[in-house]
Structure 1
Amino acid sequence: MLCGCVRVCVRACVFAYAPFLLRFLRTKKYSVPQACSMLERYLTIRQLHPQWFHKLDPLDPKIAAVIDAGYLVPLPKRDGEGRRVILSCVGRFDPYAHDSCTMARVHSMIVELLLDEPRSQLCGYTHVNDEAGMQMPHLSLWSLNDVRTMLNCIQNSTPMRHKCTHFVNVPHYGAKFFEFAVSLLSDKLKDRVMFHRNAEELTKHVDASILPKEYGGNVPLKDMIEELKRSLIAHRDDLLALDDMCVDLYALEKNDLTQDIHSTAGSFRKLELD
């Protein structure tokens, strides 16, 4: 039904199966038209921005180095609402060794790893962003236009229920950057963003026991990283197979596709997957 709604032509595509399509239906609370729209957008942004969404290979040396450093880690235990918690530590990302595309691909890879979890599809996600160690080179990785485009992709094209986003240890020189980023969010998501001065304030909202030992929890971050690496390797073939999906942009209607994806919601009538 969902494939028929968006008129997707599938040829030997392993992603035209129930768990994959449920990502979109559950995110949109089983509204088929809304799920179709998000599916169309998901497929389209992957085609428009391969530098962010393709080649999600955990064995890629650059990606592996970022994972080993502990920049982005989904926590093993869920929060009190049953949500999957994703922790980012910008101080563990080397802005001199890696660019924004590598950062985006790491995020995309870990998100894809989690998207088929039924409980996460229903309960959603909590994001904890530790900005301790942020330097000016971190901020200069992203142009303001790319920030705008990426946030549009996250809000409108990724089948995730973003329930709460926490920022902690934001340096004074990063305040304007985050103020700009939050201004691009929908009103609903803006209301779900919280800023905390330190980890102690954070733990008033996120149970310390589920956080890494370095934040007051029980499990060392290095153990969480090793668990993540094992899971990524186990799903490597699926992650790489995502690149087999291909949208025929020329088959779309007259409306300017790039403008539509980067700004307001639109409608695409024909998609083809090879």
Structure 2
Amino acid sequence: MSFNLADVETIYAEDPKLKRENVKSLSEWVEQQPHLPEITELQVILFLHSCYYDMEAAKTTIENYFTLRTNSDLFHCATEEMIKRTLSMSFIHLFPKKTPEGDVVLLMRLLDRRPEVYVCLEHLKVMTMLMSLYFHQYGPANGMVAVFDMEGAALGHLTRINLSGMKQLLYFVQEALPTRIKSVHYVNTIPMTQQLVALLKPFMKKEIYRMLKFHYSYDSFYECVPKKCLPKEYGGDLPDVLTLQEGNVKNLMDNLDFFKWHDNQKVDESKKVLQNKNKKSFFSLTSAFKKLEFD
């Protein structure tokens, strides 16, 4: 593997709480699990950091992450056509400038507001690709702040939400994502926003639900996410949305080999030790788990 990924020595130097001996111990544990794929030192660091250096929590997150990626097409690499199509319709970006707390900001907004061109599963797939690539390229962030700009959203978009896909995404975010979720913001909030949240609430942990913040003015939003971390369209210091999107698409296209490698990091269920086989999980209890259909 020869991708341009985050340098682990830099991460150790910048994070005094990250202990080499803990990373080594967790790496050895992964090697002793015959069903798990070979993973890199960087990936071990991401999981350990996201779990606030709790070894047992990191083990569970690793299990969830690779099992989920193995069993669901939602987390596999999209085609070049799908990537370009999705990012011509929506802006999905993790910004280079972090908040003062060291959190990375993920912003999503519609570019093409026609409900008939919105394909929920394709948007979810590309979003997870962007998150995965970002943390492999830049290493751990203190946390992640998600921002949903509801401008241009309509009831027609709500009717095109794929609940099975959203359930899988929320499980991924809450139980498997190798970063810390700090807050979730809705800006340009419209009445439909509450309907969307009500639709997804059954799949949310209380901790995530409490993180939701609804902004009816930018003043309250800027108190949470400074302007300097945002694009020009939001009064920020970053380039405009279309310029950022061009870089976004190029980065994905330049790293398709990374996603092919990552897709091959699969769990082999037949090699699970007996004590793990007997543990019930989201994957064994969700009958529709593998039934997502992409256009």
Provide the C-alpha distance between the structure 2 equivalents of 1:168 and 1:200, rounded to a whole number of angstroms: 11
How far has the Cα of 1:258 moved from its partner?
Answer: 4.4
Are residues 4 and 33 of structure 1, via their aligned partners in 2, closer, same or farther at CA, if it must alter by over 3 Å? same
How far has the Cα of 1:55 moved from its partner?
Answer: 1.9
Alignment check: 8 A CA contact 1:10 1:16 kept: no
TM-score normalised by L of structure 1: 0.82
How far has the Cα of 1:87 moved from its partner?
Answer: 0.6
Alignment check: 8 A CA contact 1:76 1:224 kept: no
Gaps of 5+ in 2: 1-24, 287-295
| Cα offsets for 1:125-184 (capped at 9, x unmatched) | 111110111122321223444433321221001112111111112321331221343454
TM-score normalised by L of structure 2: 0.77
How far has the Cα of 1:25 moved from its partner?
Answer: 0.7
Q: Paired residue for 2:99?
A: 79
Alignment check: 8 A CA contact 1:168 1:198 kept: yes
How far has the Cα of 1:41 moved from its partner?
Answer: 0.4
Alignment check: 8 A CA contact 1:91 1:134 kept: no
Provide the C-alpha distance between the structure 1 equivalents of 2:279 and 2:246, rounded to a whole number of angstroms: 46
Q: Paired residue for 1:205?
A: 224
Is 1:156 aligned to 2:156, yes or no? Answer: no
| Cα offsets for 1:198-248 (capped at 9, x unmatched) | 334322322123211111124211111122233223332112211112212
Superposed structure 1 runs of 4+ greater than 6 Å apart: none
Provide the C-alpha distance between the structure 2 equivalents of 1:259 and 1:84, rounded to a whole number of angstroms: 29
Alignment-mate amino acid for residue 62 of structure 1: M
Alignment-mate amino acid for residue 33 of structure 2: V
Alignment check: 8 A CA contact 1:139 1:174 kept: no
Which one of 151, 158, 168 corresponds to residue 132 of structure 1?
Answer: 151
Alignment check: 8 A CA contact 1:165 1:194 kept: yes
Gaps of 5+ in 1: 263-274
Q: Paired residue for 1:8?
A: 33
How far has the Cα of 1:18 moved from its partner?
Answer: 0.7
Q: Paired residue for 2:291?
A: none
Q: Paired residue for 1:53?
A: 75
Q: Paired residue for 1:254?
A: 278
Residues matched between the structures, number: 257
Q: State how 1:95-244 maps to structure 2 within 5 Å.
A: 95-116=115-136, 121-182=140-201, 184-218=203-237, 219-244=239-264
**What SS is found at the alignment partner of 1:151?**
helix
